[in-house]
Amino acid sequence: MIKLTDVHKSFGAQKVLNGLSLEIPEGKVTAIIGPSGEGKSVLLKHIIGLLQPDSGRIEVDGESILGLRRSQLNRIREKFGMLFQNAALFDSMSVFENVAFPLQEKTKLTRDEIHRRVLSALEDVGLKNVEEKFPDELSGGMKKRVGLARAVVLNPKIILFDEPTTGLDPVIKRAIHHLIKETHAKFGFTAVIVSHEIPDIFDIAQNVAMLYQGEILQHGTPDEIQASSHPVVRQFISGSLDGPIHLG
């Protein structure tokens, strides 16, 4: 389980997380929704220790990840996989090398075994015959799928998805969501998805947390969130221009 307690984070004068508390249950898919610029990606980066909060506690499986030495933090990070918003593929490596990289560096598998695992991971995300291509030769959807293959190849316990479908067409979007659902069913990892995809995200997630003004405004099952009477949640779900959420 991932537990955040009273987390505060500011960048200069801008307060991004303002006493945020959230519990992310093990083995479930939790979606973080909320307007753009509210700190959802910042929240993900805190969970994996890429950013340190100004105050508060962050625990992964009961262990605090704050104030650790790099080696201690890396031991916790080994539980994680992460799919970045723009996939963050290594642009000097081919698709095969990108997916093989964590296996080469973190396991003692033989070359043949790595080869087999990479092809299997790529097949799981619906990619064939792209192993020799480089990231700049791939479409946005393909990059995300390679990123997903790289994130799951070590069978991590927890996977963080940072806006996995932003900027994709509706068909690819649906395919990526289906893929996340399928890989989650297959591997049973804990998933945290930052997404704006309303209402699609309600089909994938078992828990939904709405982030607004640096705090978790509401947290519950997709049905509970959809039935919420809170004006901010209602406006965000309906996409209405009228309500407490102001543009800019």
Partner 1 sequence: MFTPVQAIGRLTIGYVRELGRMGWFILYSLYMIARRPGHPLYILKQMRFIGTKSLFVIVLTAAFTGMVLGLQGYYTLAKFGSEGMLGTAVALSLIRELGPVLSALMVTGRAGSAITAEIGIMRISEQIDALETMALDPFKYLITPKFVAAMISLPLLCAIFDVVGIYGGWLVGVKLLGVNPGAYFYEMEKSVVWRDVYSGMIKSFSFGMIIAWIGCYKGYFSGHGAEGVSRATTESVVLTSVLVLVWDYFLTSILL
Residues that bind partner 1 (CB under 8 A): 45, 48-50, 70, 74-75, 77-78, 80-82, 84-86, 88-91, 101-102, 105-106, 160
Least distance (Å) from partner 1 to the CB of residue 156? 10
User: Could you identify the residue written with the tokens 């307007």?
Assistant: 35
Least distance (Å) from partner 1 to the CB of residue 168? 18
Give whichever of 86 and 226 is closer to partner 1, judged by the CB atom.
86
Give whichever of 101 and 202 is closer to partner 1, judged by the CB atom.
101
Give whichever of 61 and 200 is closer to partner 1, judged by the CB atom.
61
Dig out the tokens for 214 from the structure.
């640096």
* Strands across the sheet containing 2-11: 14-24, 2-11, 55-60, 63-64
Q: For 17, how many CA atoms within 13 A lie in the half-sphere containing its CB?
A: 28
Give whichever of 103 and 168 is closer to partner 1, judged by the CB atom.
103
What kind and span of H or E run contains 115?
Answer: helix 111-124
Residues found in the chain: 248
Give whichever of 151 and 225 is closer to partner 1, judged by the CB atom.
151
DSSP secondary structure letter of residue 7 = E
Give CA–CA dist 16/72, Å, rounded. Answer: 27
Give whichever of 106 and 186 is closer to partner 1, judged by the CB atom.
106
Least distance (Å) from partner 1 to the CB of residue 199? 28
Least distance (Å) from partner 1 to the CB of residue 90? 6
Least distance (Å) from partner 1 to the CB of residue 76? 8
- Amino acid identity for residue 14 in this structure: Q
What angle in degrees, to the nearest 10, is found between the helix axes of 111-124 and 95-106?
130
Dig out the tokens for 200 from the structure.
């699609």
Least distance (Å) from partner 1 to the CB of residue 11? 12
- Amino acid identity for residue 42 in this structure: V
- Amino acid identity for residue 223 in this structure: D
